[in-house]
Amino acid sequence: METLSGGRELLFTLILKVGWAAALAALLVRFRSFRKLVFTDTRNPDEQVMLLLFLVPPLAIGSMLRLLGHYQFFDLTFEGSFLMGLIGGRMVGLLGGSLISLLAFGNHEWLASPMAASVGLLAGVIRQLMPDKEDIWHFGPFLFLSIPEWIWKLVRYGQGNWAMLPLFACAAMEVGYLELAAAVPSRWLFAIHPANNGYMALVVLSSVMCVAIAVKIWNNTRIEMNLEQNQQFLLKARMDALTSQINPHFLFNTLNTVSSLIRFDPDMARGVVVKLSNILRRLLRKHETFVPLHEELEFIDDYLGIEEIRFGRDKLQIFKEIDEETLDAFIPSMLLQPIIENAIKHGLAPRLEGGEIHLRTRRHDGRLLIDIEDNGIGISPQRLREVYGGGIGISNVHERLRLLYGEQFKMDIRSQEGEGTQIHIEIPEVSAAEPAASA
């Protein structure tokens, strides 16, 4: 038991204590593994052990600095035990409190381990009692300012606030901790005990602030991670929406082709159905964001096989110049089909004599280059502006590339009315491991 009678000395020690707690919380949150542990509300035994491995060593070092150097502000045994129980649960609080107080127990502070373990266990019980674990993260440095509003709602409407439970429990346990330290022999339990009740309120407030600041720092990280996760969900939803805009249009045209062929050429219709089944099988794999180029080309072959039947092989000619080194490169799923469909529908179909489509791929400086060119009727300047404004199907491709690659892609469209359209795409060359993480 140590008494600080001077108000200035006490205040300086308490400020350093709160600062050390904030610095420790900020340091821990820089580790990615710790951020994942904080982000997870339900932890398995392995994750609980990891949480102990992150929290126990620095807290134990603080206790050691107090014992060896008499730096009282480094000792966060009470606050650390309460925090581990509140965040990690009963077992984490019980084991963590016992471990960080072992050095003090070995220094003949006989009540150090029992008290720290009890504080951690009780904090874990409080966590278990709270119906919504998210309320734990509302425990912040300025929560006490909401006490009058909470009392008013409780008296007038009978409406409680579970976020107040950790606040009052931390303050009550600190008061009991200080009273016990004052009642037992001085070496049995360390505590900063001031000379009067006013200073004692400051000690209790500092302990509450140490826990609240750590929770606040970690909660800010949780909010950032939650926003990042929501952005990923939003990105996936936008990608799914863009893909769904492409697929129904394509299927509608294909089914029209099948229905017309069945009437006068069943054998040819059977061949189209086989190609259509391959296409449908591919379309069912919507979860794949990236696919190898050779798979996309197989898909295009089935699509073009149907389109050649619709237009006639003498009116629709396809020329491919594919660099073999690009066949295993990964590209966004359904990248080429809407471009080629647009070339046929808007470029070649209006021409009575039909036309040609040229597809070329090559690699250059770690990037995949794709060119699609047709000799159709071209795109008017007004309609070409709509490509980047969402007016035609190619805009979906542009938007998907922007979502996937940010500023790391290039898509140029050049067109002359009556002469044709050239589309040039450059994307980063993606390895086999990277698409697996993105899919």
Closest CA to 410 of 367, 353, 378: 367
Average of per-residue pLDDT across 256-280: 77
In whole angstroms, give the CA distance from residue 296 to residue 346. 22
Report the pLDDT value the prediction gives residue 54, as an integer from 0 to 100.
95
Residues in CB range of 241: below 8 A, 6 or more apart: none
Which range is least confidently modeled, 1-5, 33-37, 234-238, 330-334? 1-5
pLDDT at 2 over 70: no
Supply the pLDDT for residue 391. Answer: 42
pTM of the model: 0.60
Strand pairing category for 355-364 and 367-374:
antiparallel
- Residue of higher predicted confidence among 245 and 88: 88
Task: Please tell me the distance from the alpha carbon of residue 272 to that of residue 274, in angstroms, as a whole number.
Answer: 5
**Over residues 387-392, mean pLDDT:** 46
Q: What average pLDDT does the segment 13-37 reach?
A: 93
pLDDT over 70 (residue 4): no
* Residue 199: per-residue pLDDT: 85
pLDDT at 75 over 50: yes
The mean pLDDT of 105-128, rounded to a whole number, is 93
Residue 347 has pLDDT above 60, yes or no: yes
Eight-class DSSP state of 425: E
Whole-number Å distance between alpha carbons of 36 and 322: 44
Gap between the Cα atoms of 155 and 152, Å rounded = 5
Q: Do 101 and 116 touch, CB atoms closer than 8 A? A: yes
Of the spans 230-234, 330-334, 392-396, which averages the highest pLDDT? 330-334
Q: Which two tokens stand for residue 374?
A: 């047709």
Nearest to 257 by CA among 301, 300, 309: 309
Would you state the pLDDT for residue 234?
61
**Per-residue pLDDT tens digits for 85-96:** 999 999 999 999
What CA–CA distances, in Å, run from 100 to 31, 46, 304? 21, 19, 70
Say which range, 170-174, 320-324, 428-432, has the weakest mean pLDDT: 428-432
CA distance 252 to 36: 45
Element (H, E) at 208: helix 197-264
Query: Contact 97/121 with Cβ under 8 angstroms?
Result: yes
Backbone torsions φ then ψ of 36, nearest 5 degrees? -65, -40
Per the model's pLDDT, the better-predicted residue between 194 and 385 turns out to be 194
Q: 293, 331 in Cβ contact below 8 A? A: yes
**342: confidence class by pLDDT, cuts 50, 70, 90:** confident
Residues 277-336: tens digit of each pLDDT? 887 777 666 556 788 999 889 888 888 887 777 777 777 888 899 998 889 888 888 788
Tell me, what DSSP letter sits at residue 331?
A: E
Q: What is the pLDDT of residue 125?
A: 95
Q: At what angle do helices 197-264 and 77-88 cross, to 10 degrees?
A: 30
pLDDT, residue 433, reads: 46
Q: Is the pLDDT of residue 250 over 70?
A: no
What pLDDT does residue 389 have? 42
Q: Of 18-22, 240-244, 353-357, where does mean pLDDT reach its minimum?
A: 240-244
Neighbours of 436 (CB within 10 A): 11
**Banded pLDDT at 384 (limits 50, 70, 90):** low
> Would you place residue 227 in the very low, low, confident or very high pLDDT band (cuts 50, 70, 90)?
confident
